[in-house]
Amino acid sequence: MPTHPYDLLILGGGSAGFNAARVARSEFDARVAIVDGARELGGLCILRGCMPSKTLLWMTEVLHLAQKAKNLGLRIPAAAPNMPAMQARKKKIIADFAAYRATALNSGNYDLHRANAHFIDPHTVELADPKRTRLTAKKILIATGSRILTPPIPGLADTPHWTSDDILDLARVPQSVIVLGGGIIACELAQYLRRIGARVTLIQRSPRILREHSPEASAVLQQALRDEGIELHTDTRIEKITKTKHGVRVKFIHNATNKPLTREAAHLFNALGRAPNTAPLNLPAAGVLTNEQGRIRVNRWQQTTTPHIYAAGDACGPHDIVHLAVAQGELAARHAFLVPAARKKLRPLNPAHHLGVVFTSPAIATIGLTETELRAKKIPHIAASYPFNDHGKTILMDANYGYVKVLADPSRGRLLGAEIVGHDAGELIHCFTTPLVMRATVRDMLRAPWYHPTIAEIVTYPLEELAEKVAQASSP
């Protein structure tokens, strides 16, 4: 028998689920239950995603700067990682963040159930607790996140391998690692491994790493990773992975030349991606459909194919990004509880405002539509870019990789998108976020003061070029 009739029942207390709960409770005084089966509360971002990875990447960025200090005329003789100390610092930081989230979840504002759940019918879930407790609710949000994917590559499942969870917990520098994959997590953590001192070989199937980014951005990062000593193979297909006496062996073919290659290393890192964590939910019982990747299908209000059931975060995508998970969770909660008249003021999330950051060094950051998307949608646009190796502040910092590129509409110069590859790109991209959302033009951006010498003022060069193009196009 159902025991708890809730207004909103949330499966998963990570970024999407927690923020949906917060909004439902604080804005609508809804009776909310959160069900989470994790041993430790906090969600992926805090426990095994953004925060631990960025803590370690920042440490190795400082290490890297110290190691290349002689370029700046400095003598820093023995900069080296102290892995136990790095892990201790990371653990302390993550424990504090997780405790903060756990306190909020246990605040009494929500009923928290510590078990996994699956659907019995569109309003009922059953918990995997000894009593097999059943909970019912008027509305349900699925925010169960994602899990590591192990694709059917011959030998992979039978060969011991690390995942991102293992890399983030390494207490010693591994002698050598083969990284499978060329997505964001693969690139960020391959550079981390190289910078702590491991020999790293990265093997990627696509013709370039970060295939969802522009070819120019990929090319700059590929060069930077090779310059740091990572052996990079793109455009490959893996024939076989085997366990050896001393580690692993990967046999693969280079597509362009059809040449077979073999690489060996002490360890293998599976960075081939993540899949939505939806299979154990018994979604058919709730009438919730998924797409071919297993992501839950949602409309622009995060409603699934069963309208009183919503989904948010990695469980539905389209991108595994925290600020998106939070925004989707909040949107779902508002849509679920706003009265119909007030719902009219609600805005769906705008894919033309998409913001993404890759925390490699140089970093890659994008906002808005990319040039490829603009071309595919046949949206008229003009583009201008400027390289970091010709800008005063980045030259004096010896931060020469990369460029900033701006995309605007040709008639008024309204911003359509921007891409930054280079030092602190993840911070710099925020020069563009508010102007883009406020529909500013390149001229509007140039009316703002830009301090000299800063990295940010590099942005003014492509803006000026675009402003000139717009002026020429509109002059009689």
| Choice between 359 and 386, CB closer to ligand FAD | 359
| Choice between 36 and 419, CB closer to ligand FAD | 36
Shortest distance (Å) from residue 146 CB to ligand FAD: 6
Distance, in Å, from the CA atom of 349 to the CA atom of 327, rounded to the nearest integer, reads 8
Parallel, antiparallel, or unpaired: how do β-strands 248-254 and 111-113 relate? unpaired
| Choice between 154 and 280, CB closer to ligand FAD | 280
Shortest distance (Å) from residue 10 CB to ligand FAD: 9
Shortest distance (Å) from residue 363 CB to ligand FAD: 11
Do the beta carbons of residue 32 and residue 332 sit within 8 Å? no
Shortest distance (Å) from residue 188 CB to ligand FAD: 7
Closest by CA position to 296, among listed 285, 312, 272, 282: 312
Shortest distance (Å) from residue 16 CB to ligand FAD: 4
Distance, in Å, from the CA atom of 174 to the CA atom of 197, rounded to the nearest integer, reads 8
Q: Which two tokens stand for residue 281?
A: 């939910």
| Choice between 49 and 362, CB closer to ligand FAD | 49
Distance, in Å, from the CA atom of 90 to the CA atom of 79, rounded to the nearest integer, reads 19
- Whole-angstrom CA distances from 260 to 30, 177, 215, 224, 316 are 60, 20, 26, 26, 38
Shortest distance (Å) from residue 425 CB to ligand FAD: 13
| Choice between 41 and 416, CB closer to ligand FAD | 41
Shortest distance (Å) from residue 109 CB to ligand FAD: 18
Shortest distance (Å) from residue 191 CB to ligand FAD: 13
Roughly what angle, to the nearest 10 degrees, separates helices 15-28 and 322-337? 30
* DSSP letters for 399-464: --S-EEEEEE-TTT-BEEEEEEEETTHHHHTHHHHHHHHTT-BHHHHHHS---TT-SGGGGHHHHH
Tokens 């060329």 appear where? 182
| Choice between 53 and 60, CB closer to ligand FAD | 53
| Choice between 260 and 280, CB closer to ligand FAD | 280
SS (HEC) of 315-360? HCCCCCCHHHHHHHHHHHHHHHHCCHHHHCCCCCCCHHHCEEEECC
Please count the other Cβ atoms lying within 10 Å of the Cβ belonging to residue 175.
13
**Residue ranges in contact with ligand FAD by CB under 6 A:** 11-17, 35-38, 43-45, 48-50, 53-54, 116-117, 143-145, 164, 185, 277, 280-281, 313-315, 320-322, 325, 359
Q: 3-state class of 37 per DSSP?
A: coil
| Choice between 365 and 442, CB closer to ligand FAD | 365
